[in-house]
Structure 1
């Protein structure tokens, strides 16, 4: 005979809790949160800071702190860091803009890494199939600090995507945040300097900053090409 007994309220609650806390449910929650964050950023249009400037009611240290907080949340929602770095320099100058952008960088990376580790890692790790994905996961898991340092030093690497990929790996919190803080300094400073001198694009400071970004971008392409074999990427065969 079929068991038609109705589960007790306690067992029913246990099943619901298990379903809600399952890896795929948490991954779904992560996707919902990211979609909501992206929609909020699009509605707020942070790019207006470059044209309209910072609200006049806020100034000084409070403005720098608020910008850093907004910066962190925007990067977690996939807003490109170069735009935010340039805005930081244009709004607060090279020094304060660099500090605010760096604080926002570490904050945004911590938020992204925490969300990815808590809500996405358990569901996504079993899906790491293929030579490239396995090699990237192994590199981040075994050599997390130096790998993340390289990713932060070179421009062009999607910031939020690198954060969430690191969260899925077995990389630790401390090397991730330390590499992010140290590796982000040169390019963040260059973008902030460029933003602070954007009104004078022929000035030596602006030209030096843009030249530095161009050289590091070229270096990133060269390093990626030379290291493709270690990551299992197809290359030219003789």
Structure 2
């Protein structure tokens, strides 16, 4: 009756049933993304962004360096190993501490000397190599996980691109040369390899093999430090000095060659 009267009067009015359906509220799950979910997604993207991960890596490295300054692991050379630790347990603990110290930029020669002085030539060499591979793996993993995405877009210089291409295409050979060459800092090689596309296996294998000569020389020197005139100590010092001198000469000639170009 209401619809018919409205038609006769010339006035169009929606039926009560139509009005109720049009004014019905939308379902609760209709919005595509609630405000809270959108905020959580933006926060997650910000936390997981490449630059946030790079900032976390820098903070971790800075914290590790501060811990090294506070605890002074170089005191092992003067105070010796804690007496309550001995044998295989001491070697295992030292290898783990060695690896963490290399991540915190403690020079490996100092740690190699300490390993030789504490455990002798053979066990000191094995412990140092285990710590070297462990520290290199931790640094490589941190750099690959936290720094690669943020740093790769910055590889625009000619030298940086050349180094990245060399490490990516010839990973094992390049890393083996970097470990054998005494002028390349251990931590720098780790993080450069992490930014490149080098694989895990070539990196770790080249690190283990390339670190043997230099590590052995320092371990023997540390073990024979009490007899500085012994043939073993003198040979070890020669094995340390000759590669360092050769590396310095090569770096000097490369420097002049690059300036000339």
Structure 1 residues 81-115: Cα deviation after superposition (integer angstroms, max 9, x where no partner) = 00000000000000000000000000000000000
1:130 aligns with 2:157: yes
- Secondary structure at 2:227 match in 1: coil
| Unpaired stretches in structure 1, ≥5 consecutive residues | 1-5
Per mean C-alpha deviation after superposition, the further-off stretch among 218-227 and 79-88 is 218-227
Aligned to 1:72: 99
1:234 aligns with 2:253: no
Aligned to 1:191: 218
CA separation in 2, counterparts of 1:200 and 1:128? 49
- Secondary structure at 1:47 match in 2: helix
**Structure 1 segments of 4+ aligned residues over 2 angstroms from their partners:** 218-229
1:32 aligns with 2:59: yes
Aligned to 1:113: 140
CA separation in 2, counterparts of 1:227 and 1:149? 19
1:104 aligns with 2:128: no
Scaled by the length of structure 2, the TM-score of the pair is 0.84
Tell me how many residue pairs correspond in the alignment.
Answer: 229
> Displacement of 1:224 after TM fit?
4.3
Kept in 1: contact 2:183–2:248 (CA 8 A) = no
Aligned to 1:215: 242
Match for residue 15 of structure 1 among 38, 42, 46:
42
- Secondary structure at 2:165 match in 1: helix
1:144 aligns with 2:171: yes
- Secondary structure at 2:156 match in 1: coil
CA separation in 2, counterparts of 1:235 and 1:147? 24
> Displacement of 1:179 after TM fit?
0.1
> Displacement of 1:213 after TM fit?
1.3
Scaled by the length of structure 1, the TM-score of the pair is 0.92
> Displacement of 1:235 after TM fit?
3.7
CA separation in 2, counterparts of 1:14 and 1:116? 25
Name which one, 1 or 2, has greater alpha-carbon Rg. 2
Per mean C-alpha deviation after superposition, the further-off stretch among 186-195 and 148-157 is 148-157
Higher relative contact order (CA 8 A, sep 6+): 1
| Unpaired stretches in structure 2, ≥5 consecutive residues | 1-32
Aligned to 1:3: none
- Secondary structure at 2:118 match in 1: helix
